[in-house]
Amino acid sequence: MNLKHLESFVRVAELGSFSKASRVLDVAQPALSRQVRQLETDLHETLLLRNGRGASLTDAGKRLFEHGVQILQRVALAREDLGAQRDVAVGHVTIGMPPSIGRRLTLPLIEGFRERWPRARLTIVEGLSAHIVEWIAGGRADLGLLYNPDAQPALEITPVIHERLCLVQRAATTRQRRRPTPVKLSALPEHPLILPERHQAIRRLLETQAVQSGVKLHIAWEVSSVPAIIDLVCAGTGSAVLNASAVVASGRARDLTVRPIVEPELTTVLCLAQSASKPPTPLMRQSAELLVDLVKRLVRAPTARRA
């Protein structure tokens, strides 16, 4: 089995698209298609179903995908181990981040990574905390940032930073933006809220505390995208409950008022997660240190000022 063909198949399967995999691997799409077809020919199996929207796995493809991820991980570990013996950081690390902070962290993370480890490769993927947990547990990501994760036997979790939840509203005046007043949890029903779906960490925390406090929230809209939520708030469609760092990352802080929620204060914990069973490579350890340092510098400062 050709490792290059296997990697091409795994990337197409992960991304669900030949065109996206072509960009990630920097391989022309016709060449990528030929590599996957050759793999199918060698194995006498149809692995992917091509359609107008992309590509989906067949049953045989699903079985090979699980093997392929593990094979590529073992090859990467072997390369990194040999590189570590030469005191050279090599290999590939995949980091998952929530959209609320991914936009702000991606550029400095890539710049810092490239400066420190020019021979190594970095992949950044965005998703909700629940998705990132699945990616790490399944071996599709090496490190991840999670909000309020539950205890997971498959994960090693380290708290990084605490952030307060705030009511985010369109700012009618400059004074409202510069001098936001706290808002009690009991007053939230007065505001039509735009919230993500129920399995998202901040939504779970907010609803749990509301139930315990006897507060019935007015949920006007459910939207999974944080940038879309902020656009709706700026348009006056409703209010949101977010961390201040998410507002800063959106680039639209001037249009918004960020009011800390009090009585009780609601706090999210951003944690670093990695596999509990997969031995960390030198590159993973150093990447985790860089990621934590960036989070503390880029997230804590604006949150502290607005809280």
Matching fold, domains 1-87 and 161-269: no
- Retrieve residue 283's tokens: 């590159």
Query: Is the confidence at residue 170, as pLDDT, over 80?
Result: yes
Ordered by start, the domain boundaries in the chain are 1-87, 161-269
Query: Is the confidence at residue 116, as pLDDT, over 70?
Result: yes
d(CA 234, CA 230): 6
d(CA 68, CA 195): 37
Among the CATH numbers 3.40.50.12780, 3.40.470.10, 1.10.10.10, 3.40.50.300, which is that of 1-87?
1.10.10.10
Kindly report the average pLDDT of the chain as a whole number.
85
Confidence (pLDDT) at 9? 92
How are beta strands 155-170 and 256-262 bridged, if at all? antiparallel
Confidence (pLDDT) at 303? 42
Of the candidates 144, 143, 93, the residue with the CA atom closest to the CA atom of residue 122: 93
Among the CATH numbers 1.10.1030.10, 3.40.605.10, 3.40.50.300, 3.40.190.290, which is that of 161-269?
3.40.190.290
Token pair 């959209």: residue: 99
Can you count the helices (H) and strands (E) in the chain? 12, 12
Confidence (pLDDT) at 306? 40
Band of the pLDDT at 302, cuts 50, 70, 90? very low
Which pLDDT tens digit goes with each residue over 221-230?
Answer: 998 888 889 9
Q: What is the pTM of this model?
A: 0.64
Residue 214: phi, psi to the nearest 5?
70, 30
d(CA 44, CA 36): 12
Angle at 202 between CA 159 and CA 186, to 5 degrees: 120
- Retrieve residue 148's tokens: 């309020």
What contacts 277, CB < 8 A, 6 or more positions away? 154
Query: Is the confidence at residue 60, as pLDDT, over 90?
Result: yes
Query: Is the confidence at residue 217, as pLDDT, over 70?
Result: yes
Query: Is the confidence at residue 67, as pLDDT, over 70?
Result: yes
Confidence (pLDDT) at 262? 93
Confidence (pLDDT) at 15? 84
